[in-house]
Structure 1
Amino acid sequence: MLMSKNCVSLVKHHKWIRPEGHDTGIKVFNCITKNKEPLIVKNKNFVTWYTCGPTVYDSSHIGHASCFMKLDIIQRILKQYFNLNLVTVMNITDVDDKIINRSNASKVPVQELTQRYEKEFWKDIEELDISKPDVILRVTENIEIIKNCIEKLMKCKKAYQAENGTIYFDVGAYSNYGKLQNISSENPEHEHEYKKSSMDFALWKSAKSGEVYWESPWGNGRPGWHIECSALASHIFGPEIDIHAGGIDLRFPHHENEEAQSCALHCKTQWVNYWIHTGHLHLKDSEKMSKSLKNTMSVSSLLANTTPQTFRMACLMSHYRKHMEFSPEFMATASTNLQNYINFIDTCKNYLNGLITVDVDNNAMEQLVQDSAEIIYGALTDDFNTPLVVKTLNKLVSAVNITLHSSKTHSSVSKSVNVVVILNLVLRTLNMLGLDLSYKKHSESGSDFVEIMNILNDFRQNVRQLGISKKDQQLLEMCDTVRHNLKNSGIILKDHGKVSSWST
């Protein structure tokens, strides 16, 4: 990171500068212009992405999980749909006021506390099938990098040391503050005792008695929260980042302060080209989910009552920028959507295997594929509109189901290739979004399970045909009982005339 010692403020107005480079064809909401802007990346061979990671002083809740899930969905879209080589970096804040307070209250050493909750965080991420970042940077392992950035800000007169020993960023020496969010003028009655301005923020906090600290040219202390992300992101990506992401609650002051100090550090008018912020998760008829409101639900509690795929579907059904309402009804809808897709896949396979014989209008099917694919492309290029993608898939599945379950049967062995095309479109889109609805093994020996189910299905099929031929109601009721009991175990039996099939 090279910078001039005579670094000065370069801008007077809050403007977003459209970057030069490769136009991805995607439009993303821009919190500075308040419009959707073309996503242009500096280098078409790779895209830089930085995410603000967790402060590991407590267990994560599903509000955190929804943020990381939605960012994971966007990353998958960029990588798998638009074929962009995305390089992702995340920090872990393992020293902070909250961590120190929790350590003191629980009488657990800081390092032991942070290691415990970081391990729990990654376990949650894995169980939710959220991809881990390519690079993970812990604050305590990169203190020298952070101190170097603070020293450079001191040299270019963008930071100062107050009487209490703390180093503050001088907002008054930077003329483009308030870029990401409108900020009202400060009230002189709330001036801080040691700061030049109440808006100045700490880069290096002077150590208090008994607290963890590191040595520095300005005395013993530890880094402030905002400088951590700026220093670590700049260390990996340099003076410019394509995408910086986090929850909407981080836009101010965290991201605002990151942008200000990083622009000052690199003598640039723009450090991050695109900010992506996810909406809050709300409980039904309640405020946002947060630890301060004491209304949180842990990830483990969530997964005790639902599946990771159902939670992902719920996140897909709500736009990443919008607040997401978490309720039993909403989760039930997400679960129903998933089951409809599973049933659709099974129906298509039964058609292709000859268990369902119907006339298919190839021209109508071909048009359906074309229209659906175009809508999906338009939705994903329009600020990652996943709710529209889900709606489009639902309509597509419904239309094909109506055809395949119609009474217009035929005896021809020919099959419509468009059913295969539609099935592939649905599977490919769901897989790209992180939903794998392919067959899951129900035991360690998956092949044994399949073999056993085939034997059971064939036996029930023969018993059912015997009951039909002899008009034996008792045999037919027994077959229905087997089907009902297997459904309770997640296995679906379907009868197609004289033939039966099963699916999970």
Structure 2
Amino acid sequence: MALKVYNTLSKQKEVFESVQPGKVNMYVCGVTPYNHPHIGNARPFVTWDVFRRYLEFLGYDVTHVQNFTDVDDKIINKANEQKSSWDKVSGEYIQAYFEVMDKLNVKRAHVYPKVSTHMQEIIAMVATLIEKGFAYELEGDVYFKVEAFADYGKLSGRSLEDMQAGARVDVDTRKQNPMDFALWKSAKPGEPSWSSPWGAGRPGWHIECSAMSTKYFGGSFDFHGGGSDLIFPHHENEIAQSEACTGCVPFVKYWLHNGFITVNEEKMSKSLGNFFLVLDILQHYRPEVVRFFILSTHYRSPLDFSDARLTESTKSLERLEIAQGNLLELQTLTGDFLSTEALTYEKITAELRREFLAAMDDDFNTALAISHLFALAREINKYKQEVENGKPVDGKVVDLLAKTWQLMTSIIGVLEHNTTTVATEEQDALGKLVEKMIACRAQAKLEKNYAQADAIRDTLQAAGVILEDTRQGVRWKKA
């Protein structure tokens, strides 16, 4: 099956064909670093992380670029509030971004361009647009002339007339058309500014991404994306100014956008008081739970955030962790025994692998792909139960299960670092200590000293070790 993606530009799924054979260039709109990342920020970055993982699995050489809009009104306002500088504020929150995304197991992009370090490219692009007749200057401000770009509105599917009638635009009677948007803004007192042919100032929001993506990828590249809220006006304006400047059409071959996040079925917003920072969420839920929660819904669908949904994700992930624990235990038991079941499990794992990859090929359907991961977990648990009932362990079967598990978890990005039986000295020491305490707890139970047994269990739990009493004995795992 070939990879198909839903292209916001064509409003349909298309078979993916890279601009350059074997190479994929992807640009993702990053954060404006004036605060800690919120759950709405986390969704696109986790989503695009999976896109990248899958494209790399398919064998593509992927270059991932994600910007920081480090020159912005919000940053300037925050700096003034804190009696600090705009660059110090943005630097602190860029670091905060990395700390959170590292916890969510989001791979670092290859390049993180910042607006402040790309003024030369931005000014050059604005100058070219003026020279080509797509922009004009007014008293130090430069605007893009939307009526000069015949395809304006092709991404959002709106006509210029409808946009003029219904869109919110800054009131500026000097503009030739109310929909014309700023490419360069003249300097205001107390704001950072850079020298330009039109006087001191700073860039408008939209031109920044066009200049940075063009610098790293040229006039046309494979993927561009972000949240659905960026379709208009940001990405619409990016297309207009980029194609007008370079003459390369299309500017981007495939536009992908993730759906909105709601909170208890209401749109997340500061005014409603349902605005959640990832930093705060991680005080109550593990990072893998948050990542799993995000990917359990197809990226284009709305995602409803609630404690109930996160609790549900916690329980679901724990089911997968039990299967992984069983797999690790099976790996320690494998020997030279060979059974006729190997052929059966070759068919089972091959089919699960095929179904998992088919789901990913269908517009990166992680929700469906995860259902096949659960099916694999059931096969692992079933085989482990058979072994506990006396069946000899077939190393070939375990190897098939482990390789399929590793494939799925490495693409989804959960539980991917725990599929090996090789333990560090620290893990070995912890295991020996826990096993000794489990033995002491068992002895306490034999002596009917249940208070001591409970105390041992509580001590382990406080240290991040969870005990599970099963028919086959006591199992333990790190919380």
Q: CA deviation at 1:152?
A: 0.6
8 Å CA contact 1:248, 1:278 repeated in 2: yes
The equivalent position to 2:69 in structure 1, one of 62, 86, 93, is 93
Residue 255 of structure 2: SS of its match in structure 1? strand
Deviations 1:282-319 (A, max 9, x none): 111311x2345442111211110011111111111011
Matches within 5 A, 1:283-362: 283-287=263-267, 289-291=268-270, 293-351=272-330, 353=332
Q: CA deviation at 1:107?
A: 3.5
Summarize the Cα distance change of 1:144–1:312 in structure 2 as closer, same or farther, 3 Å threshold: same
Query: CA–CA distance in 2 between the matches of 1:232 and 1:56?
Result: 17
Query: CA–CA distance in 1 between the matches of 2:259 and 2:340?
Result: 43
Summarize the Cα distance change of 1:443–1:107 in structure 2 as closer, same or farther, 3 Å threshold: farther
8 Å CA contact 1:62, 1:298 repeated in 2: yes
Letter of the structure 1 residue corresponding to residue 68 of structure 2: I
1:170 maps to 2:152: no
1:183 maps to 2:158: yes
The equivalent position to 2:377 in structure 1, one of 374, 382, 397, is 397
Root-mean-square deviation (Å)? 3.2
Letter of the structure 1 residue corresponding to residue 149 of structure 2: Y
Summarize the Cα distance change of 1:123–1:352 in structure 2 as closer, same or farther, 3 Å threshold: closer
Summarize the Cα distance change of 1:292–1:155 in structure 2 as closer, same or farther, 3 Å threshold: farther
Letter of the structure 2 residue corresponding to residue 118 of structure 1: I
1:376 maps to 2:344: no
Q: Could you say which structure has the larger radius of gyration? A: 1
1:455 maps to 2:432: no
Query: CA–CA distance in 1 between the matches of 2:74 and 2:122?
Result: 20
Segments of 5+ residues of structure 1 without an aligned counterpart are 1-23
Query: CA–CA distance in 1 between the matches of 2:123 and 2:44?
Result: 30
1:430 maps to 2:409: yes
1:134 maps to 2:110: yes
Letter of the structure 1 residue corresponding to residue 448 of structure 2: Q
The answer for the alignment partner of 2:59 in structure 1 is 83
Query: CA–CA distance in 2 between the matches of 1:450 and 1:401?
Result: 22
Summarize the Cα distance change of 1:486–1:97 in structure 2 as closer, same or farther, 3 Å threshold: closer
Summarize the Cα distance change of 1:259–1:334 in structure 2 as closer, same or farther, 3 Å threshold: same
Matches within 5 A, 1:25-174: 25-79=2-56, 81-162=57-138, 164-174=139-149
Deviations 1:262-282 (A, max 9, x none): 001111221111112111221
May I ask how many residue pairs the two structures share in their alignment? 467
Residue 331 of structure 1: SS of its match in structure 2? helix
More deviation, 41-50/292-301? 292-301
Query: CA–CA distance in 1 between the matches of 2:320 and 2:292?
Result: 11
Percent identity between the two aligned chains: 30
The equivalent position to 1:254 in structure 2, one of 223, 234, 242, is 234
More deviation, 111-120/240-249? 111-120
Q: CA deviation at 1:42?
A: 1.8
Summarize the Cα distance change of 1:227–1:187 in structure 2 as closer, same or farther, 3 Å threshold: closer
Deviations 1:433-485 (A, max 9, x none): 21135189999943321222243445666x49xx8xxxx57279976875676
Q: CA deviation at 1:428?
A: 2.7
Segments of 5+ residues of structure 2 without an aligned counterpart are none
Q: CA deviation at 1:30?
A: 0.8
8 Å CA contact 1:369, 1:422 repeated in 2: yes
8 Å CA contact 2:187, 2:200 repeated in 1: yes
The answer for the alignment partner of 2:396 in structure 1 is 417
More deviation, 342-351/315-324? 342-351
8 Å CA contact 1:360, 1:416 repeated in 2: no
Deviations 1:99-121 (A, max 9, x none): 23333444332222222222222
8 Å CA contact 1:342, 1:437 repeated in 2: no
8 Å CA contact 1:49, 1:243 repeated in 2: yes
Query: CA–CA distance in 1 between the matches of 2:470 and 2:15?
Result: 51
